[in-house]
Amino acid sequence: MFVWCLLSLLALLPVTTGINPGVEVKLTQKGLEYGRQMGIASIQKKLSSIKLPDISGTEHVDPIGKVQYSFTGMQIVNLGLPTSALGLVPGTGVSLSIDNAFINLHGNWRVKYLRIIKDSGSFDLAVSALTIRTTIAVMSDETGRPSVSMTSCTADVGSVKVKFHGGASWLYNLFSSYINKALGSALQKQICPLVAESIADVNPHLKTLNVEAKVDKYAEIEYSMVGSPVISNASIDIGLKGEFYNTGQHKEPPFSPAPFSLPSQNTNMLYFGVSAFTINSAGFVYHSAGALSLNITDDMIPSSSPIRLNTKTFGTFIPQIAKMYPGLMMKLLVKTVKQPIVTFQPNNVTVQTSGLVTAYAIQPNSTLSPLFDLNLDGSISARVYVTELKLAGYLTLNKIDMSLAKSYVGPFQVTSLENIFTMVLKVAVMPKVNACLKEGYPLPTIGKMHLVETQLQVLKDYLLVGTDVQFTE
Ligand SMILES: *[C@@H]1O[C@H](CO)[C@@H](O)[C@H](O)[C@H]1NC(C)=O
Ligand SMILES: *[C@@H]1O[C@H](CO)[C@@H](O)[C@H](O)[C@H]1NC(C)=O
Ligand SMILES: *[C@@H]1O[C@H](CO)[C@@H](O)[C@H](O)[C@H]1NC(C)=O
Ligand SMILES: *[C@@H]1O[C@H](CO)[C@@H](O)[C@H](O)[C@H]1NC(C)=O
């Protein structure tokens, strides 16, 4: 039975295990330190909820005889976790240690003896030198999100001191050792389960990882983990799929991610490495969806331009056009013929595109008469930046190479059209592409996360984003 459960659990694990990630995330010591602060605040809150049950009983005391006692209304009045450390346990997870913790409680005591004598008062209990040691495993859950669980915990109630108010001193002696032990162990029993709860409370936050980040009507990005986190003595490294897919249907591109590893930097809390594969998977999706095509009409050319999309302007370069189609407006259909390829070199992002342009004359009855088809190879340089929680870009056209694919109007010199096409691409196509790229593509995020002190470097084959994070509840 158990084996079957285990097997069905394994079947639920992402089938992607073992493939190279497209995006790598590194959580540094600085990031862990931020996690420690949040974790300690959470544990402190949990421990403050400790409720000690009322205790009552009878004890035989010479020469008085039977003494009935009760301790009631015990409440925590002060609790502190001044010293704590979160460390990496290579291969396993993290260790959390809390030292010198203290808890102060206030309560009431009551005794009855010799049948009729009653006495009561209050007491203060001070627990100090409390230590808690726990280890936490970091794993991937069945949805490809990270998850944590407590794997061990020990709590040691260092020293317990009680101070009684009211009553006779012989009573103090009676209670002291008893109450120290009873309350000490009642406390100790509650600590580890509450710490475990605090740790488990992290999981709902981790579950908010956008493993299927929606981009637009064409695309989404998959950010599920491709394997277990790699925990070294310096960082926790998580490999994410980092692949664009067309919305709803996950068709693989004809290329796959190359392995890469992030440099061991540690000035920021978090590093994201976004591979060229991830960006190119976007190109594949948009090209395959036919989204990389555009009709260019004259109204897209600034009115200040002397060059117009009509047979008069084009007729000055290709006289047949003016003769065959006098006085007509034109339209250009530009589309990619294969997916654009992005290359990352240190401080240099370039995009190679291959497209086809078809020029039409627009007849008065709106029929389109084809004039020619041109092959177009463009070299584009890109600037990439992080905005909010997104990666955005801005493209600049460097150079185009054109060749004639087909003419419907007889032979002509393609080079004569180079300037006019460069101008049209710059004023009509690039602004549209840049408007899309400005919208940005979501990075992997958890909860209400904000990036601060963010910097981006272009390295060989990937982008490195270093950032600090802040969470708002
Ligand atoms: C961390 O691990 C690396 C490689 O395994 C090792 O060279 C280095 O000495 C270790 N550092 C510490 C502080 O243990
Ligand atoms: C361009 O125009 C043609 C003809 O009007 C139309 O069939 C096509 O869908 C348009 N393409 C785009 C990308 O708008
Ligand atoms: C960027 O790289 C491309 C090719 O990878 C190269 O042609 C170009 O000169 C480089 N640009 C700069 C500014 O280094
Ligand atoms: C539109 O006009 C052109 C040129 O006058 C003609 O060749 C074509 O048949 C017309 N198309 C329709 C659908 O009327």
Q: What type of residue sits at position 422?
A: T
Q: What is the separation of C-alpha 254 from the centre of its chain, rounded to a whole number of angstroms?
A: 27
Q: Is residue 17 domain-resident?
A: no
Scan for tokens 């963010």, then name that residue: 454
Q: Does the Cβ of 333 fall within 6 Å of ligand 2?
A: yes
Q: Does the Cβ of 365 fall within 6 Å of ligand 4?
A: yes
Q: Is residue 20 domain-resident?
A: no
The reply to whether 156 and 218 lie within a common domain is no
Indicate the number of domains in the chain. 2
Q: Which of 149, 179, 205 is the C-terminal boundary of a domain?
A: 205
The reply to whether 192 and 230 lie within a common domain is no
What is the pTM for the complete model shown? Answer: 0.87
The reply to whether 196 and 222 lie within a common domain is no
Q: Does the Cβ of 294 fall within 6 Å of ligand 2?
A: yes
pLDDT score for 1: 38
Q: Is residue 375 domain-resident?
A: yes
pLDDT score for 18: 60
The reply to whether 241 and 167 lie within a common domain is no
pLDDT per residue as tens digits for the range 442-459? 999 999 999 999 999 999
- Structural domain including 117 reads 42-205
Going from the Cα of 341 to the center of ligand 2, the distance in angstroms, rounded, reads 24
The CA distance from 209 to 144, in Å, is 9
CB neighbours of residue 160 within 10 Å: 23
Q: Which of 174, 205, 236 is the C-terminal boundary of a domain?
A: 205
pLDDT per residue as tens digits for the range 122-157? 999 999 999 999 999 999 999 999 999 999 999 999
- Phi, psi values for residue 283, rounded to 5°: -55, -40
Residue nearest to atom 5 of ligand 4 (CA): 363
The reply to whether 90 and 57 lie within a common domain is yes
Domain harbouring 425, CATH code: 3.15.20.10
Q: Does the Cβ of 291 fall within 6 Å of ligand 2?
A: no
Q: Is residue 382 domain-resident?
A: yes
Going from the Cα of 86 to the center of ligand 1, the distance in angstroms, rounded, reads 17
Write out residues in the chain with pLDDT < 70, as ranges.
1-18, 173-175, 473
Q: Is residue 21 domain-resident?
A: no
Q: Is residue 35 domain-resident?
A: no
Q: Which residue of 342, 347, 350 sits with most ligand 3 atoms within 8 Å of its CB, as the best mutation to test the pocket? A: 350
Nearest to 254 by CA among 355, 338, 380, 335: 338
Q: Is residue 226 domain-resident?
A: yes
Q: Which of 205, 222, 251 is the C-terminal boundary of a domain?
A: 205
Phi-psi region at 436: left, alpha or beta (left = phi > 0; alpha = psi -120 to 50): alpha
Domain harbouring 160, CATH code: 3.15.10.10
Q: Does the Cβ of 366 fall within 6 Å of ligand 4?
A: no
The reply to whether 229 and 195 lie within a common domain is no
Nearest ligand 4 atom to the CA of 366 is 1
The reply to whether 180 and 216 lie within a common domain is no
Residue nearest to atom 4 of ligand 4 (CA): 363
Going from the Cα of 90 to the center of ligand 1, the distance in angstroms, rounded, reads 10
Going from the Cα of 379 to the center of ligand 3, the distance in angstroms, rounded, reads 10
The reply to whether 235 and 179 lie within a common domain is no
The reply to whether 246 and 310 lie within a common domain is yes
The reply to whether 379 and 408 lie within a common domain is yes
The reply to whether 184 and 322 lie within a common domain is no
The reply to whether 164 and 243 lie within a common domain is no
Q: What type of residue sits at position 308?
A: R
Q: Does the Cβ of 367 fall within 6 Å of ligand 4?
A: yes
Q: Does the Cβ of 289 fall within 6 Å of ligand 2?
A: no
The CA distance from 429 to 423, in Å, is 10
Which residues surround ligand 3 with Cβ inside 6 Å? 343, 345, 348, 350
Q: Is residue 357 domain-resident?
A: yes
